Each structure stands twice: as C-alpha cells, then as structure tokens.
Chain A
Amino acid sequence: MTASAPRPAAGPDVAPLGRMLWAQTWSELRIRWRIPAFSLTIVALPVLFFTFFGLPYAKHTLPDGTSLGAYLLASFAAYSVGSVMVFGFGIGVATERGLKVDVLMRATPLPPYIAILAKVLNALAYALLSLVILIGYGIVVGGIRQDLTVWLDMIVRLLAGSVPFIALGFAIGYLCGPNVAPAVANLVYLPLSFASGLFMPLSQLPGFVRGIAPYLPAYHYGQLGWSALGANTERLPVSLAWLTGYTLLFLAIAVRAYRQEESRKFG
C-alpha cells in the first residue's frame, strides 16, 4: 500500500542518530534510577558483601606481598560490574518483553542497534558508579591504599572486559519471562561468582571448586581485576581468549532465543 504525501519543507529525511542515542541513553538512565530494586541492589550489595568477606582481611597481605584487602576489593569490583550487566540486561530485557515495549519500539524509526547501544552505555554508567562507590568505601572504611593509577587501571580493565556478562544478560533476558528472569539471574550469577573465587580467594575454597574454576567466565574476568594489582595467576591474553569465547557462546544463545521469539511473535 502506497501513500503519497509530499513533505512541505525540504527538511532531512531522518533524525540524527547521535541525538537519538543521547536521548535514549538518558531516558534509560532515568528509568533505571527510578527502580529502587535495581539502583539500590547494584550499589549496596557489593558494598555489603565486601563488608562481610573483605573488610576483616583488609590489613592482611598475600604471600607474594599483594595487599589481601586490595585483592578482595578487586574481586568484589569484578563481581559488581558482572552483576550490573547480568541483572541489568537479564531482568531489564525480560521486563521490557513482558510489557511489550519492544513491539512499539520496532515500529519507530529508532534503529535497534541504537537502542542496544544506549542500554550498554547505561549499564557502563551504572557499573562505573558502583565501582566508584565500592572502591571509595574500601579506601575510606577499609584503609586500603593503592596508587590512583592502579584503581583507574582496574576500573578500565573491568569495564572493558564486561562484554561476556552483557551477552549473558541478553541470553537470560530473551530466554526467560519477566517473573523468572530475576531468579535465573541469581541462580546463575551467584554460584558462578563464588566458584570463580570472587567472594574469597580460590586457595580458601574446596578442591573440586578449584578444579572447575579455570573453566568459568567469572574466573577469567576476576583475573582482569587482579591483573591491575599484578596478582593475576594467568597471562592476560589467556584471560581475554576465554572471555572472548564465552562472549561468543552467550551471544549465540541470546541470538537464537531472540530469533525464536521473533518468528513466534512476528512470523
């Protein structure tokens, strides 16, 4: 069906993508901020966990001379960024699908990749906020001292390496409904973090956990945080290769689930 109605003024055919991205990111930030269940947990939980599992050892040192406090702060920093990604995308995408926000958005001129990019920028902003609060807490309350460049290095490494958890979040968001997604995200992410040595050093964990840890994504992600302190136990390219592999795996699952829903909904 064709309708011909000439545009009166010779304006642009389409709106600028940069403005769309900015407006979309800003509105995502506001949406997240107004859901206390999200904004509080992503900020408060890592601080809480660090208080229980990290603060008591803040003044200890590891055999290689690394501050155990800084090591654990790096562990929980990794946990924190991963949780923003897994919970933010997993629950966020599942909720939007539940509200059928995606149906209307598909009919607007907003390109899907701009919508996804806005979500990624939004998640990175919240991850950064969470890291600044957690590290600030470690410095002020735990008295953990490192050069500023070390902290900045850690933040950059963790944000840049968070891609596999974005992919995992998308996979959960497209596989689960809005009521199931929070449970699945917890059931996947908490044991994963624990078994990867993010809650306590691997040397403290049972033997069989130490055996499986090197195959888990959060273990290799933790290495990125520890590497900023020079306390990583595998070479950086090895960690990055594992993380890339997991990104591809989770993306494949997410794309498959997305396509299945697409053909069911829009045939």
Chain B
Amino acid sequence: MLGPNGAGKTTSISLMLGLRQPTAGRARLFGLPPTDRRARSRCGVMLQESGTTSVLTVREIVDVFRVYYPAPLPAERALSMAGLTEQAGARVGTLSGGQRQRLYFALAICGDPDILFLDEPTVGMDVEARRAFTASIHTLSGTGKTIVFTTHYLREAEELARRIIVIDRGAVIADASPQELKARVPGKKITLVAGRPFAPGELDGLPARVLHVVGERASLLSNEPAAVLRELFRRGVDMVDLEVTGADLEEAFLALTRRSEDAA
C-alpha cells in the first residue's frame, strides 16, 4: 500500500485489524471479524504508533508474545530473522531506534502468522537493517505468507511488492503490479531554464504534464523526455540549463491524483 503522508494507509491497516471501526462497510479477516481471536492468532502486526515495556529483555518479550499464538516460531528463529540474535539479552530500553524497529518485526513474526501487516516497517532502519529486512520479506513470501505493508517510497514498493495499491486522501488511485504502475506514472522529470520568460500557453500540447512554470524556469513530468525536448527545440525554445531526472514519488502521485480529478 503506497501513498504520501496522510493518504490513509495507517487508517486502512487499522480497519483491517479491527483497531478502528469503519463508518460504513465491514472488514473481514479469514472470513472472520478482525477482532476474533482465531483471526488474530493468524496475523502478525507491526504498527507505527506503538511501544513495548522497556525493562524486559528482547528474548523475554519475544517469549511472552510467542505464548499468545497457537503454533509460534522458535524464539531463536524469530530473533535471527529480525537480525537481533546478538541483542537477545539486552533490555528493550537500551535498543537504538533501528534495533527497536527490528524488535517490532520479531514480535510480528514470532507467532508464525499466515498474514503480516507492517505499517511503514523500514522507517528508522539503517541500510544494513533494511537489507536484512528485505531478505526476510522474500523468505516469508516464499513460504506462502501474505504480507501487507505500507510505504511512501515507490522504490521500496517496487522492490518488495507483487501488487501495489496507491491511495491518496482515503481513495484508491491505482491497483496494479509494479510494472503496470510504472508504465502509468510519468517516470522522468524535466527541469529547464530558458533564455527568456515563458509566454502563457507556450508549453501546451507537449507529451508531458507541466508541474510549474515560474518566469524562465519550468518543470515537467513525462514518460517520453526525448520527444518533449525534440518538440521544445522545434518550437525554438532557447535553453540555458536542462536537467532530466527520475521523477520522485511525490510528483508521480501528483500526476496520478490530477488525472483522477480530471476524469471526475
């Protein structure tokens, strides 16, 4: 589940887990209400806004959580998958932010759940922790687990997901495979500085979406940057500076949202 901050990712996860009640419609997990203990026993959860007691050790708290589930993983396995084997004896209060995030991952998987809900799992992880996390996700999905996770990084979604649901302001904008989604999102950003200020309408009719124009500066989003530039040269636009980069997610979203608003 991909979307900018405030898109409704956490709210969606909360509804699926029965932590919030929908104002309309209903949520079902394994055909059961998400608050049912049989449903809860089959899912593992990593939430953003949550904590644990600080005076227990990593191993102790993982052991307590394992008792909540009917067929838990061995504690050593959960700890090694989370990359916490060395910190097993450390008190939770002494962990760094990244290690704490790994602890929440260990708590999510220790019950050997069939479905995992991970809300912004990589926030606060360093590069190495992120790599270990990616490997664990691939291992888990390889054994048939369903993994639902939220992120606001397009790259992370591309790397890990088979299906990406883009949401913004509480609505689904797109639901597709990473490949399809990439084809639909303008992939390149063209930033240019002209020799003189742009005239109104001068950038109309290009195979691109105009992000903004201020004086002689303009930025555009497009999947065909070469065609855009060819057309600009043909129109005789005099360029002082030019940059073509990969579009970042924020801008890609903007393009998608505007498209859906145009359609409406």
Residues in A lying within 8 Å of B, measured CB to CB = 1-5, 7, 9, 11-15, 19-20, 23-24, 27, 30-31, 34-35, 96, 99-101, 103-104, 106-111, 266-267
> Is the CB–CB distance between A3 and B29 below 8 Å?
yes
CB distance from B76 to the nearest CB of A (A): 18
Task: Jot down 20 A-B pairs with beta carbons below 8 A, ordered by A.
Answer: A2-B30, A2-B31, A5-B42, A5-B144, A7-B42, A9-B71, A11-B71, A13-B70, A14-B38, A14-B41, A15-B67, A15-B68, A27-B60, A30-B60, A99-B54, A100-B51, A104-B52, A108-B68, A109-B111, A266-B21
Interface of B is mostly: loop
CB distance from A76 to the nearest CB of B (A): 29
Q: Which residue of A lies closest to B45 (CB)?
A: A107
A-B contact count (CB 8 A): 109
Cβ-neighbour of A106 out of B19, B28, B145, B146 (below 8 A): B19
CB distance from A24 to the nearest CB of B (A): 7
Residues in B lying within 8 Å of A, measured CB to CB = 14, 16-17, 19-21, 27-31, 37-38, 40-42, 45, 47, 49-56, 60-61, 63-65, 67-71, 104, 107, 111, 114-115, 144-146, 148
> Is the CB–CB distance between B146 and A3 below 8 Å?
yes
> Is the CB–CB distance between B70 and A15 below 8 Å?
yes
CB distance from A21 to the nearest CB of B (A): 9
B-side contacts of A23, CB under 8 Å: 63-64, 67
Known pairs A3-B30, A109-B40; A31 contacts B56 (CB<8 A): yes
> Is the CB–CB distance between A104 and B114 below 8 Å?
no
Measured in the bound complex, the distance between the Cα atoms of B19 and A13 in whole Å is 21
B-side contacts of A106, CB under 8 Å: 19
> Is the CB–CB distance between B114 and A7 below 8 Å?
yes
A-side contacts of B49, CB under 8 Å: 100, 103
Measured in the bound complex, the distance between the Cα atoms of B55 and A96 in whole Å is 12
A-side contacts of B40, CB under 8 Å: 107-109
B-side contacts of A12, CB under 8 Å: 70-71
> Is the CB–CB distance between A19 and B29 below 8 Å?
no
> Is the CB–CB distance between B69 and A101 below 8 Å?
no
Measured in the bound complex, the distance between the Cα atoms of B30 and A7 in whole Å is 11
A-side contacts of B29, CB under 8 Å: 1-3
> Is the CB–CB distance between A110 and B50 below 8 Å?
no
> Is the CB–CB distance between B38 and A5 below 8 Å?
no
> Is the CB–CB distance between B27 and A5 below 8 Å?
no
Interface of A is mostly: loop
Residue among A3, A30, A267 with max Cβ neighbours from chain B (10 Å): A3
Residue among A1, A2, A12, A23 with max Cβ neighbours from chain B (10 Å): A1
Residue among A12, A15, A96, A108 with max Cβ neighbours from chain B (10 Å): A108
Cβ-neighbour of A30 out of B37, B56, B71, B114 (below 8 A): B56
Measured in the bound complex, the distance between the Cα atoms of B27 and A112 in whole Å is 21
Measured in the bound complex, the distance between the Cα atoms of B148 and A179 in whole Å is 36
Measured in the bound complex, the distance between the Cα atoms of B63 and A24 in whole Å is 10
Measured in the bound complex, the distance between the Cα atoms of B56 and A97 in whole Å is 17
> Is the CB–CB distance between B114 and A3 below 8 Å?
yes
- Given A101-B51, A107-B45, A109-B41, 18 more A-B residue pairs with CB atoms under 8 Å apart are A1-B29, A1-B148, A2-B29, A3-B114, A3-B146, A5-B42, A5-B115, A5-B144, A15-B67, A24-B67, A31-B55, A96-B53, A100-B50, A100-B51, A104-B107, A109-B68, A110-B68, A266-B21
5 cross-chain pairs, A with B, having the tightest CB-CB distances, nearest first = A104-B50, A109-B40, A99-B51, A5-B114, A23-B67
Measured in the bound complex, the distance between the Cα atoms of B53 and A96 in whole Å is 7
Known pairs A19-B67, A23-B67, A104-B107; A31 contacts B53 (CB<8 A): yes
A-side contacts of B52, CB under 8 Å: 99, 101, 104
> Is the CB–CB distance between B68 and A267 below 8 Å?
no
Cβ-neighbour of B41 out of A13, A27, A35 (below 8 A): A13
> Is the CB–CB distance between A1 and B50 below 8 Å?
no
> Is the CB–CB distance between B27 and A1 below 8 Å?
yes
A-side contacts of B71, CB under 8 Å: 9, 11-12
Measured in the bound complex, the distance between the Cα atoms of B13 and A107 in whole Å is 11
A-side contacts of B38, CB under 8 Å: 13-14
Measured in the bound complex, the distance between the Cα atoms of B143 and A216 in whole Å is 61
Known pairs A100-B50, A104-B51; A111 contacts B37 (CB<8 A): yes
Measured in the bound complex, the distance between the Cα atoms of B14 and A106 in whole Å is 11
B-side contacts of A14, CB under 8 Å: 37-38, 41, 70
A-side contacts of B53, CB under 8 Å: 31, 96, 99, 101
A-side contacts of B70, CB under 8 Å: 11-15
